[in-house]
Structure 1
Amino acid sequence: MTEKRDYTEYWKEKWQNRETFFHRAKNHPFLEKNLEKILNKNGRILFPCCGKEVDMAWLASLGHQVVGVELSDVACEQFFSENGLKFSIKMLDQFKLFSSEDGRLRIYNGDFFNFGLKYEKPFESVWDRGSYVALPKELREMYPSHMKNLLEENARYLLDVVEYDQSLYSGPPFSISPDEVNVNFGSLFNCEIIEQKEIKPCHPGMDQVVPNISKMSEEKNQTKTYPDFWEERWNKKEIGFHQKTNHAYLVKHLGKLVLNKNKIRILFPFCGKAVDMAWLASLGHEVVGVEFVQMACEQFFSENNIKFTVKDLGDLKLFSSEDGRIKIYNGDFFKFNTKLEKPFECVWDRGAYGALHYDMRVKYAEHMKNLLVSSVRYLLDVFEYDTSLFPGPPHSCPQEEIQKLYGSEFKLELLESEKTISISQKLSDLNQPLDKLYFITK
């Protein structure tokens, strides 16, 4: 399904052949649980690509107005007949309009991308259970802006997606990663994860996909899961991201970062055992790293033959070189603050920002701002690639996202953008992701 024409024919054929594996005979539990988050009393809600969802009849019975959009006339007819609802049909220019007698239920039979405000006023609420996940990639990229045009300014939108191993099944329904939701929706909407659970496969072709995760928005509780993930990588020696030589971008742009000063303090978030820290200290600079994995801290000092001390600070341990030029705080970056170190004027961020899921990157950017002086110089190195081919980590970090999270307070300059042989084998198999370097200043 690579064109709009393909997707319309595909789903019409599914309904004609009664291959409606995706249809639920009961109300969706995510919608029941979170209804009050999106819908006021006697509210009005949009169901894109609605099929014959029973949730529509349930919401109408509660006094709400429900507007669906559906390609298949078979689905529209079955919805009304199976729910015992009398209806009328009106021919419009690009749609058939199916309406219940009381007017609380209206389904526009036609292509969702042709649906606009000439048919209905803007919506306050959306329940999107089977629409976004049904579309091929190029249409998913178009979908959020079209949806945005249909909504009130403060609309509330529940998006239900599935995520699974795409090497076992290619869709539809298509696997949707948290990063894709952010890339496609993030510039237009504020996204928040509110549900996640394992479900049974919703398509015969997905029988071998385990687990199949149903998500409303994106993943939850990343503050708890990201340290465990990276500690496991270090324990298993799966550290393909570690470079044994100084990073070429840092070497090339060091003068821009330190303003050719002989001694300056530089923050290395999620530093691992980066050899760049020893190099910068040898030049006379002071380096402060923050690293969750204790093994990485110990290996940095031992592999660089640097004597060190360890001090327990409660939430964090402080590893310090004897000359004091290198300090690594071992613990959660989000517990590192200006009570431990005064604000920084320089940052080298090579693997921190891109190691996190989007919801944590939002938190990270806000936390980072609290650690910086107003005249900061900040080099941010990230990857950018097609998230439908690889979900990360390292995660794809598009320029639009970085602009959104930093742009209101800082200036962004793109210094480098090169195709790269990646630090991840899976990422290397893609069509050469871009390694981008941003310079962030006031």
Structure 2
Amino acid sequence: MGLTYEDYIVLGNTNAEDWANYWAEGDTTWVSDKCNPYLIKYYQSYLACDQPSTIFVPLCGKTQDMLWLARNGNRVIGVEMVPQPCIDFFNENNIEYHVEKLQGMGNSKVYRSQADGLDITIYNCNFYELTAELLGCQCDRFWDRAAFFAINPDQHPKYIKQLMSLLTPDAQGILFTVEYDIDQRPDVSSPFCIPESRLSEILSPIASVKFLELISMPRSWYGHLDLNSMDEDRFGDSGRVITNIIQSLKYRWMMSQNRQLQELYYEDYMQKGRCRHQDWSQRWQNKIIGWHLSQVNPYLNENYQVYLKNNDNPHSSIFVPLCGKSLDMIWLAQKGHQVVGVEVVEQPCHDFFKENEITYKVQDLQGVEGKILTSQDPKINITIYNCDYFALTSSLLGFRFDSVWDRAAFVAISPDLHSNYAKHLASLMAPSGRGLLIAVDYDINEHIHPGPPFYTPDTLVHSIFSPFTSVQRLSSFLLTGKRVEHFKLSYVYENIYYFKFNEG
């Protein structure tokens, strides 16, 4: 039996002495002599203020990020429990500084500099002993590039609580986490695995969390994991596997404490978000169909082999809800699948077959208002149910689907129907069925975009679908150009999810 995350939390064993030894022995592969490129990339969007702010850098070491932030006019406050990197930071950057002893805190000190117009302070003490009173302020922003996943897992809730106590009520910042297969680590040490579910569990009660980007890390960053020391009999070649996992599952999040405001807006958003049958009919009639692609969806092409292809049953059924006249259906049918779509508007159902020159048959549905359009081409197994999504049942179909490809349905359903949508989808899926879903995320505090596509953030996807399926986010993409300008929003992300439906 594999290691459970509950056991993993207890086994986390990196302590203050370990960190002191790392610094003394020069075993600091996580340290870079350059500013973190993602700080530069996201600074203007998430850390910059209209006026210079106070930015907190927990477990700062001697990171060049502090110098970069200070040169951009900010007051920078770091905390580091090992004395050596505090001294090294100022000496290696030729910055004059002075040292004060922190009263009543043992050997703890504070290193300060206001030389050359910079304002940098590093507290050399236990992170949990730091208070806003000691700092003389609460910080406006934070930049956690390596602290959270360096803290032992059983301390993660305490860490977040302490961090929040040092921030203003409307503070925000950027946080890195790492996720990998805990069974493939030879020891339980930093960087610690922080699964998405764990992060949500800790942060959801106190902060809104937004996934920003998935990035790959160079081997120099994780070389200190000493993968070659694995037991070869037990792990075999898994050293390379964990390397890839750590490279490909490195997350960065933006966090804001203003969660109550976000929830208030979402309640309002749910009431305002409406798009019913007649709205879709008008869009198709007036050719306002910006969501329709003239080629196969690139996310389908990219993820099909791993997440939808069924090697045991190459003719497995794939459901395409709210299918419109998507070319994805032809692409899937050409792979040998039985493809079934459902579309409430009649026009795109006919357009699909006519525009692709596929002979088809039309029949009235029995007991349900609508029609069924079926391909007569023996090489193209495609059926489209022209009816309400919620009217489609496994009884009407005569079977349940092996897979689902939701490229634009969940985001098109009005927010007040999202929960019903997920429950109904689960009723159409075979036990252990699989699926891919695209959701969109943007800032509803910035502007209540009327939709569609409707606001479907990561927390919503997890909360709505988790009762029926496991939920794994595969990737996130920032939309650019006309697709964003149309929404009149500063950013729009598309998040790609993989589902594995429950067995029962």
Scaled by the length of structure 2, what TM-score is found? 0.52
Give the AA of the match of 2:71.
Answer: S
The equivalences for 1:201-220 within 5 A come to 201=219, 202-204=221-223, 205=225, 208=240, 209-211=243-245, 212-213=247-248, 214-217=250-253
Residue 141 (structure 1) aligned to one of 157, 167, 174: 157
SS at structure 2 position matched to 1:217: strand
Counterpart for residue 175 of structure 2: 159
Summarize the Cα distance change of 1:80–1:296 in structure 2 as closer, same or farther, 3 Å threshold: farther
Counterpart for residue 195 of structure 1: 213
SS at structure 1 position matched to 2:198: helix
Residue 176 (structure 1) aligned to one of 172, 181, 194: 194
Q: State the Cα deviation string for residues 92-138 of structure 1 (Å, max 9, x = none).
A: 13331111144711101111122111212111110101100111211
Counterpart for residue 139 of structure 2: 123
Report the count of equivalent residues. 324
SS at structure 2 position matched to 1:203: helix
The equivalences for 1:202-281 within 5 A come to 202-204=221-223, 205=225, 208=240, 209-211=243-245, 212-213=247-248, 214-217=250-253, 225=299, 229=303, 232-237=306-311
Give the AA of the match of 2:161.
Answer: S
Shift of 1:79: 0.7
Counterpart for residue 90 of structure 1: 100
Summarize the Cα distance change of 1:51–1:362 in structure 2 as closer, same or farther, 3 Å threshold: same
Shift of 1:46: 0.3
Summarize the Cα distance change of 1:184–1:345 in structure 2 as closer, same or farther, 3 Å threshold: closer
Summarize the Cα distance change of 1:179–1:296 in structure 2 as closer, same or farther, 3 Å threshold: farther
Shift of 1:310: 4.4
Q: Distance in 2 between matches of 1:357 and 1:71?
A: 43
The 8 Å contact of residues 297 and 319 in structure 1, kept in 2 or not, is answered as: no
SS at structure 1 position matched to 2:132: coil
The 8 Å contact of residues 49 and 131 in structure 1, kept in 2 or not, is answered as: yes
Counterpart for residue 100 of structure 1: 113
SS at structure 2 position matched to 1:21: coil
Counterpart for residue 78 of structure 1: 88
Summarize the Cα distance change of 1:80–1:363 in structure 2 as closer, same or farther, 3 Å threshold: closer
The 8 Å contact of residues 160 and 217 in structure 1, kept in 2 or not, is answered as: yes
Note the aligned Cα RMSD (angstroms).
5.0
More deviation, 132-141/355-364: 355-364
The equivalences for 1:391-410 within 5 A come to 393=471
The 8 Å contact of residues 13 and 152 in structure 2, kept in 1 or not, is answered as: no
Q: State the Cα deviation string for residues 416-436 of structure 1 (Å, max 9, x = none).
A: xxxxxxx98xxxxxxxxxx9x
Matched, 1:318 2:385: yes
Shift of 1:187: 2.4
Shift of 1:13: 1.8
Higher relative helix content = 2
Scaled by the length of structure 1, what TM-score is found? 0.58
SS at structure 1 position matched to 2:205: coil
SS at structure 1 position matched to 2:62: coil
Shift of 1:336: 5.2
Q: Distance in 2 between matches of 1:344 and 1:47?
A: 43
Counterpart for residue 46 of structure 1: 56
Shift of 1:5: 8.8
Summarize the Cα distance change of 1:217–1:298 in structure 2 as closer, same or farther, 3 Å threshold: same
SS at structure 2 position matched to 1:56: helix
Counterpart for residue 35 of structure 1: 43
Shift of 1:163: 3.5
Shift of 1:350: 4.5
